[in-house]
Amino acid sequence: MNPYAFLGAVIVSELLGTTSLKLSEGFPRPVPRLGVVYGTWAALGIVGVVAIGTVVFDRPIDLPGAVGILRIIIGVYCVTVLSETSAH
């Protein structure tokens, strides 16, 4: 299979799954709200993949990459702890 076709299928699947989560009214109201949970999950997933790549696969991270990862971590902290976007 063409890698770009596979990537496209995965992206469409992700979009459908995320939209389905938003549309599902059957779940009890999670705290924090689902949108904040999904954003946190995605951001920490990025940080986790970078950490695995660095430790397991010996892929060095450069300064711009480290700054970006730090900004992701600070952003998750701000949204989940400081902001009133999520229910505390």
* Distance (Å, whole) CA 15 – CA 2: 20
Number of structural domains (the chain) is 1
What is the per-residue pLDDT for 69? 92
d(CA 57, CA 29): 39
pLDDT score of 70: 93
40: containing domain: 3-82
List, in order, residues 6 or more apart from 47 with CB less than 8 Å away: 69, 72, 73
State phi, psi for 77 to the nearest 5 degrees.
-60, -45
Q: Which two tokens stand for residue 33?
A: 């709200």
Reading the block at residue 19, the tokens are 């939209």
Residue 58 lies in a domain: yes
Q: Is 20 exposed, middle or buried (0-12, 13-18, 19+ CB in 10 A)?
A: exposed
Residue 87 lies in a domain: no
The stretch 16-26 carries a mean pLDDT of 70
Give the chain's mean pLDDT: 80
Q: Is residue 64 part of a domain?
A: yes
